[in-house]
Amino acid sequence: MPELPEVETVVRTLRPRIVGRTIGEVRLLWKPLLRRGSVRDLKALEGKRIAGVGRRGKMAVVDIEGGGRLVFHLKMTGQLVVGEPGPAADKHLRLVVAFRDGRSELRFRDIRKFGFMLCLGPDERGESACRELASLGPEPLETGKEAFRRLFEGRKARIKAMLLDQETIAGIGNIYADESLFAAGVHPATKAADLGAADLDRLHAAVRRILKMSIEAGGSTIRNYVDGDGRSGGYQRRHKVYGREGEPCPRCGTKIARIRVAGRSSFFCPRCQKAPASKGWIKEPAEQGAKT
């Protein structure tokens, strides 16, 4: 489940392996992967050099010399890996970018077919030329605490839904939303408007600290995620609540609970992450008494 730290790790591992190399044959093995641009546009990349590799939210962006760009979204099971050329019969292989030097090639694998690629021409420069990039909210690691507060202040939506919403803030998925909310001591179902400035400041610090720690550990591998070298991440071992239903909270020992928020599993400690009691989230004793 590549979120910001995983995509950042992929980008960092890919960069020294492909930047500056001249593109050779480009083979699209599964057509629907290409969601913008044509096969002809892809073929037009042959002979051009890779100018750089970057990240925006959960998307990896490969810049082509002369102005074009390839934008990748790995969704849940996508992998962007550099490896030695080979026949490797692989039914999940979706795209192969070879290089003129005949050495390693860039491969896009995706077990489920949710991932996609956009091929943008030199005329489509800037984020405004690309809907998928233009609609993204700010980068959490480049957002100060005042700006972070302003994203959530007065909003009626639940804080977890807002963290997952890429238009509010880019790059956070289910794992880092839960880990950040735990670190900040905020219940996932809390309405954003019910959080005070101090809560939001703690959340801001938690999000940034956890994303940075995960990047240092090479991201989280739950099932399929690997970096550009094909290596698994290490941060899954440091998850405190995600995927740990029924296990003791590392802070207080209470059993980690799981509820559904924004259509996703949400793991949290019912004691360390209290819901605001006055908002009706906890059963009102008066209501219970009224029934009998």
Partner DNA sequence: AGTTCCCTGAGG
Partner DNA sequence: CCTCAGGGAACT
Catalytically active residues, by annotation: 2-3, 58, 264
Rg (CA), the chain: 21
- For the bound state, the minimum distance from the C-beta of residue 248 to DNA, rounded and expressed in Å, comes to 20
Binding segment (CB under 7 A) for DNA, from list 15-23, 109-117, 143-151, 247-255:
109-117
By CB under 7 A, residue 31 contacts DNA: no
Residue in the block written with tokens 């996609």: 116
Q: Which of 44, 51, 157, 205 binds DNA (CB under 7 A)?
A: 157
Taking alpha carbons only, the member of 76, 80, 74 closest to residue 15 is 80
- For the bound state, the minimum distance from the C-beta of residue 225 to DNA, rounded and expressed in Å, comes to 11
Q: Which CB sits closer to DNA, 100 or 260?
A: 260
Residues in the chain: 292
Contact 4, 79 (CB under 8 A): no
Contact 260, 175 (CB under 8 A): no
Contact 60, 80 (CB under 8 A): yes
- For the bound state, the minimum distance from the C-beta of residue 114 to DNA, rounded and expressed in Å, comes to 4
Q: Which of 33, 44, 93, 111 binds DNA (CB under 7 A)?
A: 111
Binding segment (CB under 7 A) for DNA, from list 80-88, 144-152, 167-175, 282-290:
167-175
Retrieve residue 73's tokens: 């979204």
C-beta neighbour count of 85 within 10 angstroms:
15
By CB under 7 A, residue 240 contacts DNA: no
By CB under 7 A, residue 77 contacts DNA: yes
Angle of helix 197-216 relative to helix 145-152, nearest 10 degrees, comes to: 120
Residues that bind DNA (CB under 7 A): 1, 3, 57-58, 73, 75-77, 91-92, 111-114, 132, 135, 155-158, 161, 164, 166, 173-175, 223, 243, 260, 262-265
